[in-house]
Amino acid sequence: MLKPQQTQSIKTLFPLQTPFLHGNGGHAFLLQVQSRPSFNKPPKVRVGFSSANNIKAVATPSVTEKSLRVEKPLSVKAVVTVKQTVRGILSSLSIDRDDIQDWLGKSLLLELVSAQLDPRTGLEKTTVKDYAHKTGMEKDGDVTYEAEFEVPVDFGEVGAILVENEHLKEMFLKDIVLDGFPNGPITISCDSWVQSKYDNKPKRFFFTNKSYLPSQTPNGLKRLRGEEINKLRGNGRGERQIGDRIYDFDVYNDIGDPDRDMDLARPVLGGKQHPYPRRCRTGRPRCKKDPSSETRSSVIYVPRDEEFSEVKQLTFTAKTVFSVLNALLPSLETAIVDSDLGFPYFTAIDLLFNEGDLPALTKQGFWKTLISRLIKAVRDAVEDVLRFEIPDTMERDKFFWFRDEEFARQTLAGLNPYSLQLVTEWPMKSTLDPEIYGPPESAITTEIIECEIKDFMTVEEAIKQKKLFKLDYHDLLLPYVEKVRELEGSTLYGSRTLFFLTPSGTLRPLAIELTLPPIDGKPQWKRVYTPSWHSTEFWLWRFAKAHVLAHDSGYHQLVSHWLRTHCCTEPYIIATNRQLSAMHPIYRLLYPHFRYTMKINSLARLALINAGGIIESSFSLGKYSMEFSSVAYDKQWRFDQEALPKDLIKRGLAVEDPSAPHGLKLTIEDYPFANDGLVLWDTIKQWVTDYVNHYYPKPSLVDSDKELQEWWSEIRNVGHGDKKDEPWWPVLETPEDLIEILTTIVWVASGHHAAVNFGQYTYAGYFPNRPTIARINMPDENPSEENWKLFLEKPETVLLTSFPSQIQATKVMAVLAVLSNHSPDEEYLGDIEEPSWKDDPVINAAFERFNGRLKEFEEIVDERNMNPNLNNRNGAGIVPYELLKPFSEPGVTGKGVPYSISI
Pairing of strands 654-656, 664-666: antiparallel
Nearest 5°: the CA angle 685, 691, 696 is 115
Active site residue: 188, 453, 739, 903, which one?
903
Sheet with 45-50: strands ordered across: 8-12, 28-34, 45-50
φ/ψ of 172, rounded to 5, equals -100, 110
Integer-rounded Cα radius of gyration of the chain: 33
* CA 266 vs CA 180, 253, 399, 626: distances in Å: 60, 8, 40, 9
DSSP helix/strand/coil, 497:
strand
Active site residue: 274, 566, 584, 662, which one?
566
First to last CA, the chain: 70
Dihedral through CA 263, CA 268, CA 272, CA 274, nearest 10? 60
φ/ψ of 667, rounded to 5, equals -70, -40
Contact 203, 231 (CB under 8 A): no
Active site residue 717: no
Query: Residue 300, exposed/middle/buried by CB under 10 A (0-12, 13-18, 19+)?
Result: buried
Active site residue: 753, 773, 851, 878, which one?
753
Return d(Cα 488, Cα 188) in angstroms, integer.
58
Active site residue: 167, 561, 593, 662, which one?
561
Return d(Cα 543, Cα 491) in angstroms, integer.
13
Closest CA to 643 of 761, 728, 540, 521: 728
Return d(Cα 559, Cα 566) in angstroms, integer.
10
Active site residue: 757, 769, 851, 865, which one?
757
Contact 132, 146 (CB under 8 A): yes
DSSP helix/strand/coil, 679:
helix
φ/ψ of 382, rounded to 5, equals -125, 130
Return d(Cα 559, Cα 555) in angstroms, integer.
5
Contact 603, 610 (CB under 8 A): no
Active site residue 561: yes
Residues 6 or more apart whose CB falls under 8 angstroms from that of 842 comprise: 694
Active site residue 551: no
Return d(Cα 371, Cα 800) in angstroms, integer.
28
DSSP one-letter code for 273: S
Using left for φ > 0, alpha for ψ between -120 and 50, and beta otherwise, residue 794 falls in beta
DSSP helix/strand/coil, 488:
coil
Using left for φ > 0, alpha for ψ between -120 and 50, and beta otherwise, residue 839 falls in alpha
Closest CA to 415 of 761, 806, 86: 761
Contact 644, 677 (CB under 8 A): yes
Closest CA to 202 of 222, 221, 230, 240: 230
Report the b/e string of 466-475 with b at 16+ CB within 10 A: bbbbbbbbbb
Could you give the residue ranges of the DSSP H alpha helices within 660-728?
Answer: 672-695, 700-703, 706-714
SS (HEC) of 634-660: HHHCCHHHHCHHHHHHHCCCEEECCCC
Sign, CA torsion 173/175/179/181 = positive
Active site residue 844: no
Closest CA to 593 of 758, 834, 302, 755: 834
Active site residue 274: no
Which residues are annotated as catalytic? 561, 566, 753, 757, 903
